[in-house]
Amino acid sequence: MADYFKTIPNDEGFFGDYGGSYIPPELQEEMNRITDAYYSISKSHQFISELRSIRKHFQGRPTPVYFAKTLSDEYGGRIYLKREDLNHTGAHKLNHCMGEALLAKYMGKKKLIAETGAGQHGVALATAAAYFGLECEIHMGEVDIAKEHPNVVRMEILGAKVVPVSHGLKTLKEAVDSAFQAYLKDPVTAIYCIGSVVGPHPFPMMVRDFQRVVGIEAREQFHDMTGELPDNLVACVGGGSNAMGLFSGFIEEPGVSIYGIEPLGRSFKPGDHAATMTYGKPGVIHGFKCYLLQDEKGEPAPVYSIASGLDYPGVGPEHSMLKDQNRVIYDSIGDEECLDAFFALSKKEGIIPALESAHAVAYALKLAKEKPRQSILVNLSGRGDKDIDFVVENYGIR
């Protein structure tokens, strides 16, 4: 796998059998333009040095790797956390939003368009738009607008326009449709900024590349701390961007075991979870091919997780490939185990994790019991401030 990043994805955007671009011709033209711009602009010295400077001075990178000693003493193993919760805006998403927005600026775009579910991607993109002085339009289902009020206010304070979507189930899938329509009306001055390693080519590749900073930093930091590579990596997988960020630093190291963790929600019954890799089969969603939770007609199935950032019926094409290659082991964690880990990390280490990230922590605690002599590096993708009211109102304090 020596040339992994030079050969994957291929020129058509395929990661093995997955990915590609299944979209209308008028959108394909625009995707080709973005792909060409990405290959020329993002490899230029000027772009790279501007992004480096943003990472350092605006985002506050590098984020630390932290040895969770109390947790390790109690559960076994040696558990380390890559602290993406300390990245500006409190999660890893800003890593790719700043990259996408910088590309938009270099392409002469005036406006960023995206959808958001829980509002995390919307807030990160609104932050990037404010930084670059670009307009920002975020499409959001009315159900989500009611549920995620603080993030709606954040986006508006940051100067973004939040467009309510009132058809269908009024959640994420309809928001994507609505944002795509808005983009089709204005593909010259606007650019669509996808929130994870999903969507048509070049987005899964581009978002992965912008997230690689996580893996590059973590590898160097872990080596400085221990003189070794980690034995195990663990990250939660919604679309899969934080996971690809960490994994990409170690994917060519056969000695590193890698675990991607999906939400098992309330149960394994359809509609109760979003464990795409375990229960899905290949299909097409939002312009790309991947493992997909689907009904008999091949339509995306309803999904659920306590962590709204993880409830997507598809998954990044690169993860789909890595599953088939057995390079990454995909497993799942339910709501209850997630909540236990949420409180364990809070009480033992003084770090309140995002519910998404708590899925990875929960799996690491299990792995630590199974492999007490090994090191485990967890991507702590975000902080849990956004989740505290929801957790306490629905589950109390544990």
Ligand X SMILES: *Cc1c(COP(=O)(O)O)cnc(C)c1O
Of 238 and 249, which has the nearer Cβ to ligand X?
238
Interaction site with ligand X (CB under 6 A):
91, 93, 120, 196, 236-243, 309-310, 354, 356-357, 381-382
Cα angle 42, 246, 390 (rounded to 5 degrees) comes to 110
Give the HSE-up count for residue 114: Cα atoms under 13 Å, Cβ half-sphere.
28
Of 187 and 198, which has the nearer Cβ to ligand X?
198
Output the smallest distance, CB 243 to ligand X, in A.
6
Catalytic residue among 30, 115, 148, 262: 115
Output the smallest distance, CB 236 to ligand X, in A.
5
110 is catalytic: no
Of 21 and 196, which has the nearer Cβ to ligand X?
196
What single DSSP character describes residue 321?
Answer: H
Cα angle 302, 91, 325 (rounded to 5 degrees) comes to 60
Written as one string, the DSSP assignment of 198-209 is: -SSTTHHHHHHH
3-state secondary structure of 108: coil
Catalytic residue among 257, 305, 332, 381: 381
Output the smallest distance, CB 357 to ligand X, in A.
5
122 burial via Cβ count (<10 Å: 0-12, 13-18, 19+) = buried
135 is catalytic: no
84 is catalytic: no
Output the smallest distance, CB 214 to ligand X, in A.
10
Output the smallest distance, CB 387 to ligand X, in A.
9
Provide the phi-psi class of 20: left if phi over 0, else alpha when psi is between -120 and 50, else beta. left
Output the smallest distance, CB 185 to ligand X, in A.
27
**What are the CA-CA distances from residue 158 to residues 24, 130, 155, 189, 199 (Å)?**
33, 6, 5, 20, 26
Q: How far apart are CA 331 and CA 219, in angstroms?
A: 23
Return the residue nearest ligand X (CB atom): 382
Written as one string, the DSSP assignment of 74-89 is: HH-SEEEEEEGGGSGG
Catalytic residue among 30, 82, 84, 93: 93
Of 105 and 319, which has the nearer Cβ to ligand X?
319
Q: How far apart are CA 356 and CA 121, in angstroms?
A: 14
Q: What is the 3-state secondary structure (H, E, C) of 366-391?
A: HHHHHCCCCEEEEEECEECHHHHHHH
Residue with tokens 């994870």: 196
Of 76 and 199, which has the nearer Cβ to ligand X?
199
By annotation, the residues acting in catalysis are 93, 115, 381
